[in-house]
Structure 1
Amino acid sequence: MTAIANTTATAARTAPLLRLALRLDAVASGANGLLYVAAAALYGEMFGLPAAFLYPAGAFLLAFAAALLVLSSRPVISKAAAGGVIAVNAAWVVASVETLVAGWFPLTGLGTAMVIAQAVAVAAFAGLQFAGLRRSA
């Protein structure tokens, strides 16, 4: 009986907002990942990002999207896993800001706008996921 109580304490039972936020994040991450991998050279020119950066970033996003889809399809969403997703999203936002501030890449104006837009979108996903996680507690 204790094992069952502990399982429910560390998992989100009914989490419609969390599930939706994870799925939306999966779709956006997967779409971006696919574009990065398929059009790295074109994107590199448009945004001022090297293709050598976009290929692994795209591969990461595709794997992340797949993990989000698996996580969101579980009957019970692990709170620890959801927290990990939120942490990865927060790290992406921090890395985006750092990319802009440190000037790691010779971003074009469109590239700067894209990095900012992605950071805002990822922060919104993290916020929705956090809210969904809190509601499911």
Structure 2
Amino acid sequence: MTRQNLLRPVMLFDAATCLGMGALLVAAAGPIAGLTDLPVPLLREAGILLFPFALFVLWAARRGSGPAQLVAGLNLAWVAASFAAIAWTQPNALGIAFIAVQALAVAGIAGLQLHTLGGWKAHTGSI
């Protein structure tokens, strides 16, 4: 299987994880907040945001490399925003771990997306 053939499964996995995490954050924002010292509105709104993003990822999975590049970029922006949220919200150690683990998972998905698209060289013309 070539890298390009892996793009659609990676995109579908991304969409599925967005739906799963979105459902978790919306349904369990209160208990998660209690364990992590993260604000309930932040958790709930992040979860709600993941639903339309998952739909966009599903749409992009059918369209090929152009939209997939945008999805990978948005995933990397999510990673940056996640780490900024740690500084902004000052959660406890479990909250830091909760945010960091999901951010690293999203970074891994973005890395897989970029790999299937031919790597960084295909996007920037360098490296």
TM range (shorter): 0.7 to 0.9
2:125 aligned partner: none
Q: Which amino acid aligns with 2:101?
A: A
2:30 to 37, 41, 55: 41
Is 1:70 the counterpart of 2:65? The answer is no
Q: Tell me which stretches of 4 or more aligned residues in structure 1 moved more than 4 Å.
A: none
The amino acid of 2:113's aligned partner reads: Q
How far apart are 1:56 and its partner, in Å? 1.5
Structure 2, unpaired ranges of 5+: 123-127
CA RMSD of aligned residues (A): 1.8
Offset of residue 38 of structure 1: 0.9
How many residues are treated as equivalent by the alignment?
118
Which structure is richer in relative contact order (CA contacts within 8 A, separation 6 or more)?
Answer: 1
Task: Say which SS state the counterpart of residue 32 (structure 1) adopts.
Answer: helix
- What's 2:44 paired with? 55
Structure 1's unaligned 5+ residue stretches are 1-13
Structure exhibiting the larger radius of gyration computed from Cα positions: 1
Q: 1:88-107 to 2 correspondence within 5 Å?
A: 88-100=74-86, 103-107=87-91
Question: Which secondary structure state, in structure 1, belongs to the residue aligned with residue 51 of structure 2?
Answer: helix
What is the identity percentage for the equivalent residue pairs of Structure 1 and Structure 2?
37
TM-score (norm 2): 0.83
Q: In proportion to residue count, which structure has more helix?
A: 2
Separation in 2, partners of 1:26, 1:32: 10
